[in-house]
Amino acid sequence: MSPGRPFVKRILVLGGTGFVGRHVCEHLARLGWAVTVPTRRATNASYVQHLPRLTVLEANVHDEAALRALLVGHDAVVNLVAILHGSEAAFERTHVELPEKLARACLTTGVKRLVHIGALGAEPGAVQSAPSRYLRSKSRGEAALRAAAAQGLQLTVLRPSVIFGADDRFLNLFASLQRVFPFMPLAGANARFQPVWVEDVARAVAHCLQDARTVGQSFELCGPGVYTLRELVQLAGRSAGIRGGRGRPVIPLPMALGRLQALLMELAPGEPLMSRDNLDSMKSDNVASGRVLGIAALGITPTGPAAVAPGYLGRGDPLLGLRERYKRR
């Protein structure tokens, strides 16, 4: 698809203070659009508050009345709010109840244009077949939005694989761990991913907001290469220059031992590095299915981690990934 005439100018970005959100806000600011970013605490928006025509508002987006008030005066909304870890109730609140509230608020206020970041592997028509709480909740949330689309919601769904970039908690974390430990015991080592660069995800969001032909469509956002988790850990070590660019040895763990490792990580303070639900998600390959349009349909030639990761893993804070994990404790 090539962009048509832009038809939105004021954008509400839910999750705009997060890793992906910061890049999305930068791309929208470059277009000269006005962007509103709600957050529980204004201090969380330090990465984006300097952007031109961007307004930070303190608000609870899980409050439906607050959502309706936020939507007034905007042309479109982008939903980036998601969690990777949590209880069944936390997944339900974030991935199902929030999209339901957002859909109702959009239809009530007349702000019907919504770009929603889903998840690769989410299946709105087969919720119970999803292997993890994360994917089941993502599937239910997308199903709720599709039901609202039948009532006039102008929906576009983007389903990214695992997202990497200079300030990620993915490759940075693997590199940080290899600076600390002599080897890497790894659960789910053979799980397959098709990592997508955060800049390509941000470009996809901006493209969809400019092109009315993306309404009603879903797009799988995947990079150019498929990697096992083991290969990604090795790539992170090499890119960071660990052991002279060789990285640490990776020791695959059998599933039973991997689940025990994940359980112990869940019990540790702070956000876990890996959870049992993460392992459940890895039962399904996180790669493009080919059943829906891909990132190329948005005019984007994706960039893989091998081209980008050495540029950010080889410099900066060597414990960035670990510091990110604990900074909210």
Co-location of 211 and 176 in the same domain: no
Q: What is the pLDDT of residue 327?
A: 44
3 lies in some domain = no
C-beta of residue 196 within 8 angstroms of C-beta of residue 163: yes
- Does residue 23 share a domain with residue 144? yes
Burial tier of 285 (Cβ tally within 10 Å: 0-12, 13-18, 19+): middle
Q: Residues of the chain whose pLDDT is less than 70?
A: 1-8, 315-329
Residue 252's SS3 state is strand
Nearest to 132 by CA among 287, 282, 280: 280
Closest CA to 276 of 286, 267, 285: 267
Are the CB atoms for 48 and 16 separated by under 8 Å? Answer: yes
Residue 29 lies in a domain: yes
Q: Is 129 in the same domain as 243?
A: no
Residues contacting residue 89 through CB under 8 Å, at least 6 positions apart: none
CATH of the domain at 59: 3.40.50.720
SS3 88: helix
Q: Could you give the number of structural domains in the chain?
A: 2
Shared-domain flag, residues 57 and 105: yes
**CA 241 to CA 85: how far, in whole Å?**
30
Alpha helices in 242-314 (DSSP H): 255-267, 276-281, 305-313
| Residue 128: per-residue pLDDT | 81
Residue 80 lies in a domain: yes
| Residues 135 and 81 occupy one common structural domain | yes
| One domain, residues 27 and 132 | yes
In DSSP terms, which residues pair with 228 in a beta bridge?
192
Position 292 in a domain? no
Is residue 4 in a domain? no
Look at residue 15 and give its three-state secondary structure.
coil
Per-residue pLDDT, 1: 54
In this structure, is residue 253 part of a structural domain? yes
Strand intervals (E) in the chain: 10-14, 34-39, 54-58, 76-79, 113-117, 154-160, 163-164, 184-186, 192-193, 196-197, 218-221, 227-228, 250-252, 293-294
Same domain for 188 and 198, yes or no, is no
What is the secondary structure of 152-202 as a DSSP string?
T-EEEEEEE-SEE-TT-SSHHHHHHHHHH-SSEEETTTT-EE--EEHHHHH
Residue 247 lies in a domain: yes
- In a shared domain, residues 129 and 150: yes
Q: Residues 97, 181: one domain?
A: no
Domain of residue 159 covers 10-165+194-221
Residue 223 φ then ψ, to 5°: -80, -175
64 plus 43 within the same structural domain: yes
Question: pLDDT at position 329, please?
Answer: 34
Same domain flag for 272 and 124: no
Please give the model's pTM, rounded to 2 decimal places: 0.91
Q: Please provide residue 79's backbone torsions phi and psi, each rounded to the nearest 5 degrees.
A: -105, 110
Residues 6 or more apart in contact with residue 307 via CB below 8 angstroms: none
Residues 52-101: pLDDT tens digits? 999 999 999 999 999 999 999 999 999 999 999 999 999 999 999 999 99
- Asked whether residue 297 is domain-assigned, the answer is no
64 and 112 assigned to the same domain:
yes
Strand pairing report for 163-164 and 184-186: unpaired
Q: How far is CA 238 from CA 68, 177, 184, 268, in A?
A: 48, 13, 13, 28
